[in-house]
Amino acid sequence: MASIYIVGILSILLLIQNSNAYEFMVGGSGDWSLASTSYNQWAERSRFQIGDTILFKYQAGKDSVVQVSKDDYNNCNAASPIAKYSDGHSVVKLNHSGPHYFISGLVENCKNNEKIVVVVMADRSNRAPTSSPPSPAPSGEESPSPPPEGGELPSPPPAPSTEDNNPTPAPNVASSIVTSFIYSIVAFAGSTLLFVL
């Protein structure tokens, strides 16, 4: 009987989980190497939100992922990183809106386009703001104006269109949706069981 209550409580906790964050695999496959296609083309087609994560897979000890400033990104300079990852299976959480710059820790790889700019969209929900201050707009771009007082927040811009106007979701997004659906079914069944007893 006690085990049924435990299952019920765990099921309710599953219902409460945050299913809004996604894990993106860099480039679509997660492969962080020179052999991959253009990372920035992939990033431009993706819509990153605050709280999402990006997975970088590479051979530990042979490469690394370095988060840098815009200038260091442009110059392939990994000498003063914001963060450095070298475990071969790096998951980076996107905590604030604006551009995030990543390069290979190997200068030659970076110069051969093993680098990426990930632009995280501004939070347009009615949730309380995160503790991280927003990043300034990239140079040459205007910062977004603050929302009007007492008014509604403006709606986010439409998603970029693709050639066929019928994009298929990335595998990581689809798996997150399927996982959330399964968790919801299990949570519903467990909570129903809890209330029946």
**pLDDT at residue 158 in the model:** 46
Q: Tens of pLDDT along 130-186? A: 554 444 444 444 444 444 444 444 444 444 443 333 333 444 444 555 555 566 666
**Rounded to an integer, what distance in angstroms lies between the CA atom of residue 163 and that of residue 54?**
25
Q: Quick check: is 111 in a domain?
A: yes
Is 36 domain-assigned? yes
Position 86 scores a pLDDT of 96
Residue 100 lies in a domain: yes
Residue 179 included in any domain: yes
Whole-structure pTM value = 0.56
Q: Print the domain residue range for 89.
A: 2-128+159-196
Residue 12 lies in a domain: yes
Task: For residue 189, tell me if it sits in a domain.
Answer: yes
Predicted pLDDT of residue 128: 54
Calculate ∠ Cα 167-27-96, nearest 5°.
90
The answer to whether position 151 is within a domain reads no
Q: How far is CA 15 from CA 114, 127, 139, 184, 197, in A?
A: 39, 19, 42, 6, 19
152, part of any domain:
no
- On the question of pLDDT at 5 being above 60, the answer is yes
Q: Which domain CATH number covers 191?
A: 2.60.40.420
- For the stretch 71-120, pLDDT in tens is 999 999 999 999 999 999 999 999 999 999 999 999 999 999 999 999 99
Domain count, the chain: 1
Handedness of CA 106, 111, 114, 120 (dihedral sign): positive
Helices (H) and strands (E) in the chain, counts: 5, 7
